[in-house]
């Protein structure tokens, strides 16, 4: 057996149907995120159906936006391979696209249900970043979201497991496992957020969301700079995710400061609970 053989991206076959590890991992991440969000929603005075209804609408839209975002910035390829546009099981979805689509639907659903959008986003964003961290292992199975060429000794000196080192042998060269750096950054962000969000008089409504945006965009900016498969703005030669990360980072900090100054009556989270209100 070839010790450098990549892991099989197919989890199982059901006749003509192939179930990819990519989809299994993403689906598992979603289930974990929804389960944890429901638990937190109950602490905040919401019911489970509020979360399920929002996710039911947000997930398909997020998936469509994630693929559309990727295809848009790779249009030079897909305009000649139109039949491949729906093939998300081979990878090629963008986190930022999914966040944009999901956010739009959550705003619409929470307003329809007369639930504070800020509150709802504060509930789900810690689990969103956890799902992102788990989902990066789908990139691992597909051998994507990797960085530049490195020596095997570099990976060995990091004390990485053999299966990771072998999977980073791509097209005859070892690659920087940037998917791993982002996964670890995201999971660390989840731990920080859930450790702090119930601290009395630390966060007001919307500020768990801002903390998520600041944490994720900061890490993504630097990790994206290491990747060799980034999406680029065709007219400027800039990495799309780096530019968007910088914008999100600045906007989140600005909004946090602005809301603190202009909305002094915005509710603090008290002992894990909050008052439902639309702000």
Q: CA–CA separation, 217 vs 234, rounded Å? A: 22
| Whole-prediction pTM | 0.88
**Helix 48-73 with 95-112: angle, nearest 10 deg:** 140
125-134 pLDDT tens trace: 999 999 999 9
- Cα 91 from Cα 96, distance rounded (Å): 15
Residue 41 is encoded by which pair of tokens?
A: 């929603």
Biggest CA-to-CA distance, the chain: 66
| Residue 6: band (very low, low, confident or very high) from pLDDT cuts 50, 70, 90 | confident
CB distance 130 to 216 below 8 Å: no
Identify whether 264 is part of a domain. yes
Cα(247)–Cα(240) distance, integer angstroms: 11
pLDDT score, position 272? 43
Q: Is residue 145 part of a domain?
A: yes
Q: What is the mean pLDDT of residues 224-243?
A: 87
Distance CA 44, CA 82 (A): 45
Structural domain contains residue 159: yes
| Domain total of the chain | 1
Predicted local distance difference test score (pLDDT) of residue 77: 83
Give dist(CA 198, CA 53) in Å, integer: 25
pLDDT at 1 over 60: no
Confirm whether residue 111 is marked as ligand binding: no
Q: Is 279 a member of any domain?
A: no
- The residue range of the domain holding 257 is 10-46+115-271
**pLDDT recorded at residue 279:** 40
24 falls within a domain: yes
Place of tokens 């619409």: 108
Query: Do residues 166 and 174 make contact, with C-beta atoms less than 8 angstroms apart?
Result: no
Residues 6+ apart with CB under 8 A from 197: 122, 126, 203, 208, 269
pLDDT in tens, 191-219: 999 999 988 788 999 999 999 999 999 99
Q: pLDDT confidence of 93, banded at 50, 70, 90?
A: confident
CB 125 within 8 A of CB 212: yes
How many helices and strands (H and E) does the chain possess?
10, 5
Residue-wise pLDDT tens digits, 142-189: 999 999 999 999 999 999 999 999 999 999 999 999 999 999 999 999
Tokens 């329809």 correspond to what residue?
A: 112
Top pLDDT among 30 and 272 is at 30
Q: Is residue 198 part of a domain?
A: yes
pLDDT digits (tens, 9 = 90+) for 106-124: 999 999 999 999 999 999 9
Q: Is 277 exposed, middle or buried (0-12, 13-18, 19+ CB in 10 A)?
A: middle
Mean pLDDT of the chain: 90
Residue 131 lies in a domain: yes
């Amino acid at each position: 057996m070839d010790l450098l053989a990549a892991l099989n991206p197919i989890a199982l076959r059901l006749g003509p149907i192939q179930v990819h590890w990519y989809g299994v991992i993403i689906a598992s991440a979603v289930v974990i995120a929804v389960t944890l969000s429901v638990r937190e929603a109950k602490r905040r005075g919401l019911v489970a159906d509020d979360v399920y209804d929002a996710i039911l609408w947000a997930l398909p839209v997020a998936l469509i936006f994630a693929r559309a975002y990727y295809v848009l910035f790779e249009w030079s390829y897909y305009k000649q391979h139109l039949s491949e546009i729906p093939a998300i099981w081979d990878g090629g979805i963008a986190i930022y696209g999914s966040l944009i689509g999901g956010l739009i639907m959550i705003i619409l659903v929470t307003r329809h249900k007369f639930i504070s959008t800020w509150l709802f986003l504060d509930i789900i964003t810690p689990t969103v970043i956890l799902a992102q961290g788990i989902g990066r292992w789908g990139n691992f199975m597909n051998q994507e979201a990797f960085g530049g060429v490195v020596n095997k000794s570099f990976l060995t000196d990091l004390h990485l497991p053999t299966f990771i080192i072998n999977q980073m042998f791509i097209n005859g060269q070892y690659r920087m496992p940037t998917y791993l750096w982002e996964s670890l950054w995201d999971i660390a962000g989840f731990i920080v957020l859930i450790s702090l969000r119930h601290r009395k008089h630390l966060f007001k409504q919307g500020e768990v969301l801002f903390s998520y945006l600041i944490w994720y965009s900061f890490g993504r900016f630097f990790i994206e700079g290491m990747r060799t498969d980034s999406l680029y703005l065709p007219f400027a030669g800039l990495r799309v995710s780096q530019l968007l990360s910088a914008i999100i980072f600045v906007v989140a900090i600005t909004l946090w400061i602005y809301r603190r100054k202009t909305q002094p009556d915005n509710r603090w989270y008290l002992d894990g609970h909050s008052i439902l209100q639309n702000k």
